[in-house]
C-alpha cells in the first residue's frame, strides 16, 4: 500500500517483526560474522545480499535510507556522510574525467566549489546556467559529452525556484538525467520525481534532521532513467565492472537498482563517505516529525517576509511562499503547501548594514547552518559563498547585502519583534 507522506515520515523504511525493537536499532558494529569464506565471497561479488562491513552498508543506515526512498517515491537510496558527499557521489557516479555536466548557477556555494574547483581538477567540466535562462541558452549549454543536469529545488541562499519540468525536459532531450538537490523543500513540500527528475539528493543535515544534531546526506534514485538507451554514454552502468568480476550493473540490478548499487559498491567502497549508525538514528528521529515541522517553518517564513516587505529599512525580500513574491506562481506549482522556512533579504545600506542588523538580533543566532528548529541567520557573502568572485556571486544571486534568515519553530510574533528591534539602528 502506498501511504501518504505523513505516514511514510513516521513509519517508512523500518518494519520490525514480532518481538523486535519498535525503534530502529543502532547497529554499532563495523563488521558482521559469517560461517564460511564462501558466503563472504558471495557478498563481495554482489551475488548474495547481506552486510559485511559498515563502510559499505549498515542496517541502521539502510533502514533510514529506505524511509527517505519511500518519502521521495524512489526505487533505491543510500545515506552518505554529508550533503557534499551525496552531491559528489550523485554526479561522479555517472560523470568522470572528460565528461561534462550542466548545472544551475544558483546552487549552494559548497556545491558550486565542489563542481567548479575540485571536480574540475578531476577532469569533469561544468557549464553553469541561470535558472531563468532562455530555452535557447539552456540548449546551448549541452555538449556531446554532457552526462547530467544538476539543480536545486529552491536554491540556497538566493531561494530561486527551479522550473523542474523545463530542466528535466531539456536533460531528457539530450539523453541525460536530471539530478535535483531537494534539501530546502524536503519531500514533504516537493517530490521532484513527480516532475521528471531522475535522481534526488539531500543534505539531511538541514530540515530532515531539523535539530542541528548530525551532518549527513542521502541519494535517491527514481529508477526511471533508462541508462541502457545510450549505453555508450554511461559505460560505468552498462559495461562490465572489472572490480566486481565483470558484473554489469544495469543487467544484474535493473534500472531500479543499478545506479545506487554502483554508487555503493564503487564509490562508497573507495571513498568511504559513510554516515554513522548513530547519526542515522538521530536523522530518523528528525524524519518522524518532518511533516509536522515543515508547515510551521513555512508559516513563520511567510509572516516574517510579510513584515520585512513593509519595513522601510529593507531593500528587497525573497520568500517564494509569500503571495506577493514574484516566484509565487512557480512555487505554487511545485510546492503548493509552502517552500521552506528560509527568507532572504537585503538591508538598506548593504554589507555593513546587514552585519550591524545581524549583530543586534537576540533570538536568531549567527550560524553556518540553516533549516533548523532554532532560528539562525548568515551573511553568505562573508561565509558559505566567500570563495566566489563578484561575478560568481551575482550569478548565484548572492548580493553583498543578502541576509539568509532561517525561520525556526519559535513564535513568529517573537521573531518579528526581534527583527524589529534589530533594525532600530
Ligand X SMILES: Cc1ncc(COP(=O)(O)O)c(C=O)c1O
CA–CA separation, 300 vs 313, rounded Å? Answer: 20
Give the x-and-dash track for 208-227 against ligand X (CB under 6 A): -------x-x----------
Looking at the Cβ atoms of 205 and 250, the one nearer to ligand X is 205
Looking at the Cβ atoms of 201 and 321, the one nearer to ligand X is 201
Is residue 84 at the binding interface for ligand X, with CB under 6 A as the rule? yes
| Contact with ligand X (CB under 6 A) among 88, 89, 92, 108 | 108
CB of residue 213 vs ligand X: minimum separation in angstroms?
A: 12
C-alpha cell at 220: 535517491
Is residue 205 at the binding interface for ligand X, with CB under 6 A as the rule? yes
| Contact with ligand X (CB under 6 A) among 75, 156, 266, 321 | 156
| Contact with ligand X (CB under 6 A) among 105, 111, 248, 276 | 111
Looking at the Cβ atoms of 128 and 253, the one nearer to ligand X is 128
CB of residue 80 vs ligand X: minimum separation in angstroms?
A: 9
CB of residue 86 vs ligand X: minimum separation in angstroms?
A: 7
Is residue 203 at the binding interface for ligand X, with CB under 6 A as the rule? yes
**Contacts by residues 85-88 (CB-CB < 8 Å, ≥ 24 positions apart):** 85/217, 85/271, 85/273, 86/201, 86/202, 86/203, 86/217, 86/218, 86/219, 87/111, 87/114, 87/150, 87/181, 87/201, 87/217, 88/114, 88/119, 88/273
Looking at the Cβ atoms of 115 and 234, the one nearer to ligand X is 115
Site for ligand X in 32-71 (CB under 6 A): none
Which of 87, 114, 91, 290 minimizes the C-alpha distance to 201? Answer: 87
Query: Bridge-partner residues for 316, per DSSP?
Result: 346
Residue nearest ligand X by beta-carbon distance: 83
Which range, of 30-38, 180-188, 283-291, 400-408, touches ligand X by CB under 6 A?
Answer: 180-188
Which range, of 48-56, 108-116, 118-126, 405-413, touches ligand X by CB under 6 A?
Answer: 108-116
Q: How far is CA 92 from CA 42, 124, 185, 238, 309, in A?
A: 27, 9, 24, 15, 41
Looking at the Cβ atoms of 181 and 418, the one nearer to ligand X is 181
| Contact with ligand X (CB under 6 A) among 83, 277, 338, 346 | 83
Q: How far is CA 36 from CA 220, 244, 282, in A?
A: 33, 20, 34
CB of residue 113 vs ligand X: minimum separation in angstroms?
A: 11
Q: How far apart are the first and last CA of the chain?
A: 57
Which range, of 6-14, 49-57, 178-186, 300-308, touches ligand X by CB under 6 A?
Answer: 178-186
Looking at the Cβ atoms of 362 and 386, the one nearer to ligand X is 386
C-alpha cell at 360: 543586534
Looking at the Cβ atoms of 71 and 154, the one nearer to ligand X is 154
Q: Which residues contact 360 (CB under 8 A, 6 or more apart)?
A: 421, 422, 423, 424, 425
Looking at the Cβ atoms of 209 and 418, the one nearer to ligand X is 209
Query: Bridge-partner residues for 377, per DSSP?
Result: 366, 405
Phi, psi of 133 (to 5 degrees): -65, 160
Burial class (CB in 10 A: 0-12, 13-18, 19+), 136: exposed
Please report where in the chains the cell 530542466 appears, as a residue.
167
Going across the sheet that includes 342-347, the strands are 314-318, 342-347, 402-406, 376-378, 365-366
Helix (H, G, I), strand (E, B) or coil at 76: strand
| Contact with ligand X (CB under 6 A) among 25, 110, 169, 400 | 110
Which range, of 50-58, 104-112, 131-139, 312-320, touches ligand X by CB under 6 A?
Answer: 104-112
Looking at the Cβ atoms of 82 and 375, the one nearer to ligand X is 82
CA–CA separation, 266 vs 90, rounded Å? Answer: 12
Please report where in the chains the cell 540556497 appears, as a residue.
156
CA–CA separation, 106 vs 402, rounded Å? Answer: 14
| Contact with ligand X (CB under 6 A) among 58, 60, 82, 222 | 82
Strand (E) or helix (H) holding 217:
strand 217-221
Which range, of 17-25, 107-115, 277-285, 408-416, touches ligand X by CB under 6 A?
Answer: 107-115
Q: How far is CA 112 from CA 66, 109, 162, 217, in A?
A: 28, 5, 16, 17
Which range, of 77-85, 165-173, 254-262, 357-365, touches ligand X by CB under 6 A?
Answer: 77-85
Is residue 152 at the binding interface for ligand X, with CB under 6 A as the rule? yes
How many residues belong to the site for ligand X (CB under 6 A)?
16
Q: Which residues contact 171 (CB under 8 A, 6 or more apart)?
A: 102, 148, 149, 177, 178, 198
Which range, of 70-78, 80-88, 185-193, 392-400, touches ligand X by CB under 6 A?
Answer: 80-88
Residues that bind ligand X (CB under 6 A): 82-84, 87, 108, 110-111, 152, 156, 181, 183-184, 203, 205, 215, 217
Amino acid at each position: 500500500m502506498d501511504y501518504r507522506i505523513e505516514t511514510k515520515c513516521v513509519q517508512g523504511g523500518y518494519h520490525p517483526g514480532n518481538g523486535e525493537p519498535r525503534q530502529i536499532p543502532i547497529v554499532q558494529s563495523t563488521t558482521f560474522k559469517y560461517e564460511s569464506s564462501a558466503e563472504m565471497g558471495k557478498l563481495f561479488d554482489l551475488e548474495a545480499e547481506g552486510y559485511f562491513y559498515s563502510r559499505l552498508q549498515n542496517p541502521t543506515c539502510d533502514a533510514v535510507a529506505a524511509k527517505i526512498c519511500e518519502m521521495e517515491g524512489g526505487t533505491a537510496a543510500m545515506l552518505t556522510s554529508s550533503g557534499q558527499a551525496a552531491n559528489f557521489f550523485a554526479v561522479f557516479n555517472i560523470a568522470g574525467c572528460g565528461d561534462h555536466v550542466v548545472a544551475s548557477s544558483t546552487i549552494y556555494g559548497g556545491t558550486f566549489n565542489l563542481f567548479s574547483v575540485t571536480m574540475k581538477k578531476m577532469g569533469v567540466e561544468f557549464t553553469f546556467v541561470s535558472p531563468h535562462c532562455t530555452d535557447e541558452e539552456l540548449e546551448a549549454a549541452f555538449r556531446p559529452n554532457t552526462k547530467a543536469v544538476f539543480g536545486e529545488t529552491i536554491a540556497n541562499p538566493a531561494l530561486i525556484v527551479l522550473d523542474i519540468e523545463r530542466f528535466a525536459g531539456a536533460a531528457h532531450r539530450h539523453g541525460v538525467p536530471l539530478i535535483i538537490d531537494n534539501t530546502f523543500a524536503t519531500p514533504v513540500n516537493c517530490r521532484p520525481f513527480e516532475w521528471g527528475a531522475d535522481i534526488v539528493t539531500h543534505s539531511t543535515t538541514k530540515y530532515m534532521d531539523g535539530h542541528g544534531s548530525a551532518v549527513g546526506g542521502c541519494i535517491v534514485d527514481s529508477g526511471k532513467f533508462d541508462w541502457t538507451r545510450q549505453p555508450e554514454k554511461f559505460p560505468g552502468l552498462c559495461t562490465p565492472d572489472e572490480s566486481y568480476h565483470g558484473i554489469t550493473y544495469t543487467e544484474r540490478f535493473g534500472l531500479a537498482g543499478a545506479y545506487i548499487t554502483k554508487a555503493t559498491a564503487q564509490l562508497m567502497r573507495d571513498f568511504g563517505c559513510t554516515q554513522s549508525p548513530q547519526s542515522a538514528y538521530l536523522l530518523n528521529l528528525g524524519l518522524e516529525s518532518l511533516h509536522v515541522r515543515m508547515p510551521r517553518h513555512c508559516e513563520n517564513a511567510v509572516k516574517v517576509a510579510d513584515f520585512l516587505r513593509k519595513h522601510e529599512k529593507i531593500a528587497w525580500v525573497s520568500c517564494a511562499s509569500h503571495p506577493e513574491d514574484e516566484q509565487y506562481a512557480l512555487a505554487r506549482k511545485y510546492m503548493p503547501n509552502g517552500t521552506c522556512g528560509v527568507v532572504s533579504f537585503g538591508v538598506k545600506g548593504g554589507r555593513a548594514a546587514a552585519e550591524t542588523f545581524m549583530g543586534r538580533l537576540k533570538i536568531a543566532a549567527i550560524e553556518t547552518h540553516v533549516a533548523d528548529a532554532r532560528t539562525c541567520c548568515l551573511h553568505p557573502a562573508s561565509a558559505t559563498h566567500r570563495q566566489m568572485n563578484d561575478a560568481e556571486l551575482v550569478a548565484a544571486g548572492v548580493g553583498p547585502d543578502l541576509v539568509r534568515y532561517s525561520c525556526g519553530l519559535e513564535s513568529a510574533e517573537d521573531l518579528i519583534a526581534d527583527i524589529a528591534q534589530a533594525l532600530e539602528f
